[in-house]
Amino acid sequence: MKVAFPHMGRVCIPLKTLFDSLGVSVIIPPRNNDTIKNTGYKYSPEYSCLPFKMILGNILYSLENGADTVIMLGGSGPCRFGYFAYMLNLIARDLGYRFKFICLEPSSLLKNIVEFKRLLRCGYSDIYTALVLGWEKLKTVDSLEALYFKTLPYISDKDSSKQEFEEVVAKLEQSSNILSINEIYRDYSDHLAVQRDIYKQFPRIGIVGDIYTLNEPYSNHNIEYLLGMKGIETTRSVYTSTWVETNAFFWKRKRFNKKMKDLSMGYLNDNIGGFAMETVYHTLDFINRDFDGILHMVPITCMPEIVSRQVLQRISVEKKIPIMSITVDEHNDCTGFETRVEAFAEMLYMRHKKV
């Protein structure tokens, strides 16, 4: 059995650990690049979104290189009427690939685990150990990124900090027990704490949108790094780990959904699929937490985000907070993107200074 899964930011690190400890070999495509994007575009319906096309490119690459099982994290939720993952599966089958397709949905996680046990012929305890280790790595890699982009604007030697960060992540990739994972995080946060000037407060931006665009630097043009270099603190609304936490853990899911619905009430009363409600909820939440601005990433043709963009405009007027929606698609050239982001950052600085 050779397992493959599409890239989404650094999610391949915990997933590789998970399968490694179960003794399953994995095929990881290279980090998202133009070749993968072009493959995805070639075989996708024209009207599908950038995440769909990128994921298809990833899957086709893995199948071409010998994968026989493809695992998707989510993808049969209400986004694209629940057909997101199935379309990927069908397109690859139409191209002649034969493989097993597993769509991990938080709601059917227990069923998936039983299925895995049967496929791998291993015990529940093995799966449990692998899941715990994988979960710990996922949480840590997300916390490391969050911490880095929160601190980046304050670091004096920004260029070498990127290198440093990559080294820490590489170390995390190698570690194989929870103690060393926790140690890596502790060391790095101590290291960053020294560089953070606590008397300074730069403008803060909350980045909202769908999970793929937020977590995959290739599709968001590395927005957090770009803003960090311009002296802006950033926080994502949805990290992979927070999504797993609030969806797979049923005891947390209920509470989170209630919280989300309560706050969004009056702006978006029903879940319309994708991450529309999360976008609205987190925007309001960021505003309550005194963020200086909101950046909304919209993959072109993404219905849920198009709806939430309209809602966000109303929030922007009512709460008097600058909210900018940026549409992302296949274009490679970043000048237009950078112009908007730079202008947004500068405007926040001007507003920030005035207060």
Interface with another protein, residue 64, by CB under 8 A: no
Instruction: Spell out a b/e string for 220-251, using b for 16 or more CB atoms within 10 Å of the CB, else e.
Output: bbebbbbbbbbbbbbbbbbbbbbbbbbbbeee
Member of 150, 252, 253, 340 binding another protein (CB under 8 A): 340
Window 14 to 33, contacts with another protein (CB under 8 A): 30-31, 33
Among 2, 171, 261, 351, binds another protein (CB under 8 A): 351
| Radius of gyration over every alpha carbon of the chain, rounded to an integer in angstroms | 20
Residue 177 sits in the site that holds another protein (CB under 8 A): no
- CB closer to another protein out of 126 and 164: 164
DSSP letters for 164-176: HHHHHHHHHHH--
Q: Judged by CB under 8 A, how many residues of this single chain contact another protein?
A: 34
Kindly tell me which of 92 and 298 has the beta carbon lying closer to another protein: 298
- Options 47, 262, 354, 355; binder of another protein; rule CB under 8 A: 354
Q: Judged by CB under 8 A, which of 164, 303, 322, 330 binds another protein?
A: 322
For residue 120, the minimal CB distance to another protein (Å) is: 29
If one asks whether residue 336 binds another protein (CB under 8 A), the answer comes out as yes
* Smaller CB separation from another protein, 118 or 353: 353
Give the closest residue to 332 by CA, choosing from 33, 29, 48, 52.
33
Regarding 151 and contact with another protein (CB under 8 A), the answer is no
Question: From the CB of 166, what's the least distance to another protein, in Å?
Answer: 9
Among 245, 300, 254, 306, smallest CA distance to 280 is for: 306
Per CB under 8 A, 159 contacts another protein: yes
Position 58: which residue type? N
Nearest to 323 by CA among 313, 332, 333: 313
- Residues numbered 261 to 320 that lie near another protein (CB under 8 A) are 300, 313-314, 316-317
Residue of 295, 308, 299, 297 whose CA lies nearest to 329: 299
Q: Which is nearer to another protein, 23 or 66 (CB)?
A: 66
DSSP notation for 19-82 = HHHTT-EEE-PPSS-HHHHHHHHHHS-TTS-HHHHHHHHHHHHHHHTT--EEEEES--SSGGGG
Reading the block at residue 328, the tokens are 């992302």
Given 64, 187, 197, 342, the residue binding another protein (CB under 8 A): 342
Collapsing DSSP to helix, strand or coil, 267 comes out as coil
Task: Report the site for another protein in 210-249 (rule: CB under 8 A).
Answer: 222
Q: What are phi and psi of 6, to 5 degrees?
A: -70, 155
Q: Which is nearer to another protein, 138 or 226 (CB)?
A: 226
Residue 222 region by backbone torsions, left for phi larger than 0, else alpha for psi between -120 and 50, else beta: left
| From candidates 107, 177, 180, 339, binder to another protein by CB under 8 A | 339
Between 34 and 197, CB nearer to another protein: 34
List contacts with another protein (CB under 8 A).
Answer: 30-31, 33-35, 159, 162-163, 222, 300, 313-314, 316-317, 322, 324-327, 329, 332, 335-336, 338-340, 342-344, 346-347, 350-351, 354
